Chain A
Amino acid sequence: MEVKIRLNSVDDTQMLAEIISGYVFPGIIIGLTGDLGSGKTTFTKYLSKYIGVSDNLNSPTFTILKIYDGYYKLYHMDVYRLEDIGYDYELDEFIYGDGICVIEWYPYIKTMLPQEILSIDFRVIDEFTRDVTIKGEGPYEKIVKAISDRYCH
């Protein structure tokens, strides 16, 4: 299932994170794509607040993985640097762990990921506006449906 929505401000990004936070489960994988500055880390920052992370979430680019404590563990990854390599087995235990896993630039490690994930693609329209495509099958379908219900009716 797939839904396309438009975000007109960071408040909209926050609302998207809030909706998704209502459906997270241990082992959930959320894959993010979009150009530099399109809102991937901003989305994750809001999501972290809704799942009880009290520490400030900032960019994981340098260490590739940052781990936060909330109601669940939050594994926040940026795998941009793995583009030419395609995997990093040190990430395995987190991807297949029982926390919430958010992976920026997830297509670069696609072979490491399970078939079913929730994917969110951010496209920059102008300074504040983003077009966002959200896809998910199986256990992720109800999240996509919830977003669709909220934005498209």
Chain B
Amino acid sequence: MFVLGVETSCDETSVSIVKDGKEVLSNVVLSQIDIHKEYGGVVPEIASREHVKGITYVFDKAIHDANIRYEDIDLIAVTKGPGLIGSLLIGVNAAKVISLNYNIPIVGVHHIAGHIYANYIDNGMEFPLLALVVSGGHTELILMNDHYDFQKLGETQDDAVGEAYDKVARVLGLPYPGGPIVDKKANLGKDTLNFPRPMVDSGDFNFSFSGLKSHVINMHHNMVQRNEEINIEDFCASFQEAVTDVLVNKTIQAKNHYKVKQVIVAGGVAANSGLRRKMRERITDIPVYFPKMAYCTDNAAMIASAGYFQYLKQGKADDLLLNGQSRVNLEG
């Protein structure tokens, strides 16, 4: 089954052709990161305009690269949310046009389902599995007992982990996006500041990063007030150690509780070197998978893969009333 995936939930315009949820024939990603960089984050209206500019080109190139015709496509899978509402609408409407024109069934896919299925492309899945989803907008632990069966075990009560990285980077005077640069600096520093590990023993699978963020900001503020020398590398290392300790510990608690057969990490923060290292060091009894870098950030291949399994599982397509939503429940 040839699935055409479409992803425009944030600042990447992407279309991909994937066969049977696994074989990626093309995956075209047009990133807007350089445009949004100067604003310290993605600006919704600018993102929408850039999606409009790029979408036709990305569709054409994905079809061309896969050496396929629209007539050969069996299913269209498009991100319906969560994400920026204006950006989502552009992908959804473009997908509906192709669906209507070529009479191809269409399914609206949850963005996080896509991030989880990014792992299926290279690593496959064995159930039950535990997915740690970490990105600029999400921090969640998801249990899967079967394909396309999602049970949210816990999530952040306030800031997403990627967002905490961005905000800490901002206070330290480092550029957006904060994740990669803090990760890089952290690798050069030492955990000297003993930041708290929020909710690590809370007995549930929820997270909280707002308090840690405030703690980091307060400490920085106080050190500046006292004219103390601030070692940026150590600051980053201490923050990253605290964050990854919480993420890895909670993952291990959930892994043991639900006796899963594999752990997968998904989302943009899955690219974090500290998280990758600690996960692999501390979980040795079952496999821990990370998607390869190209599938960590937003892309349409993961949406095509997720859409394939959604269609198989649910046995039905969406109608043309399908629309973008800023917030959607994964389990719903």
A residues contacting B by CB (< 8 A) are 35-37, 41-42, 45, 55-56, 58-59, 61-68, 80-82, 84-85, 88-91, 127
Contacts of B214 in A (CB 8 A): 36-37
B7 to chain A, nearest CB (A): 15
B210–A62 CB distance below 8 A: no
Q: Which of B305-332 contact A (CB under 8 A)?
A: 325-327, 329
Taking CB atoms, residues of chain B closer than 8 Å to A64 are: 44, 84
Select the stretch in B27-35, B153-161, B225-233, B272-280 that faces chain A: B153-161
| Closest-CB distance, A41 to chain B (whole angstroms) | 6
Is the Cβ of A58 less than 8 Å from the Cβ of B45? Answer: no
Q: B160's contact among A62, A67, A84, by CB below 8 Å, is which? A: A62
With A37-B214, A81-B41 already in contact, the answer to whether A63 and B160 are too (CB < 8 A) is no
User: Are A63 and B82 interface neighbours, CB within 8 A?
Assistant: yes
The 13 sampled A-B contact pairs (Cβ below 8 Å) are: A36-B217, A42-B210, A45-B157, A59-B210, A62-B41, A62-B137, A81-B40, A81-B42, A82-B39, A82-B43, A85-B39, A85-B43, A88-B44
Residues of chain B within 8 A (CB-CB) of A68 are: 327
In the complex with contacts A36-B167, A64-B84, A41-B43 CB distance below 8 A: no
Contact of B159 (CB < 8 Å), options: A58, A67, A82, A91: A58
Using a CB-CB cutoff of 8 Å, which residues 1-34 of chain B contact chain A? 10
Which residue of B40, B41, B42, B157 contacts A58 across the interface (Cβ within 8 Å)? Answer: B157
Contact indicator A66/B326 (Cβ below 8 Å): yes
A61 and B137 alpha carbons, distance in the complex (Å): 8
Encode B180-224 as 1/0 by CB contact (under 8 A) with A.
000000000000000000000000000000110110011000000
Q: A36-B167, A61-B163, A84-B39 are in contact. Are A89 and B45 (CB under 8 A)?
A: yes
Task: A45-B158, A80-B41, A81-B39 are known; give 6 further A-B pairs, CB within 8 A.
Answer: A59-B163, A61-B41, A61-B163, A62-B137, A62-B160, A90-B85
> B219 to nearest A CB, angstroms?
12
Return chain B residues, CB-CB under 8 Å to A36: 167, 171, 213-214, 217
Q: What does the 1/0 interface line of B99-130 toward A look like (CB < 8 Å)?
A: 00000000000000000000000000000000
Whether the pair B163, A62 counts as a contact (CB closer than 8 A) is: yes
Contact with A along B59-87 (1 / 0, CB 8 A): 00000000000000000000000111110
Whether B136 sits at the interface, judged by CB under 8 Å, is yes
Taking CB atoms, residues of chain A closer than 8 Å to B325 are: 67
**A-side contacts of B41, CB under 8 Å:** 61-62, 80-81
B45 cross-chain contacts in A, Cβ below 8 A:
88-90
CA distance A127 to B162 in the complex (A): 24
Q: Is the CB of A67 within 8 A of B326?
A: yes
